[in-house]
Structure 1
Amino acid sequence: MYSLDELRKQNQDISELCDVLSVLMEQRSLHDNPYVCELLSRFKEKVWIHLVFEDNTIYAELARHGDPAVSQVAQGFHDSAKEIKKRFSAYVRHWCKPAIDEAEHRALANESREIFRLIRERIAYENEHMFPLVAEH
Structure 2
Amino acid sequence: MTDTTIRKSVFLAAPKSRVWEFLSKAELLGKWFHPAQHDLVQGEDYVLTSQKDGDRMCWGTVEKADPTDYMKWSFTVGPLNGAMTTVEWFLEDTAGGTRLSLAHSGLPEGSDGYGLVMALDKGWHGFLANLHDMD
* TM-score (norm. length: structure 2): 0.32
Compare relative contact order (CA 8 Å, sep 6+) and give the higher one, 1 or 2. 1
Q: Greater Rg, structure 1 or structure 2? A: 1
Which structure: greater helix fraction?
Answer: 1
Which structure: greater strand fraction?
Answer: 2
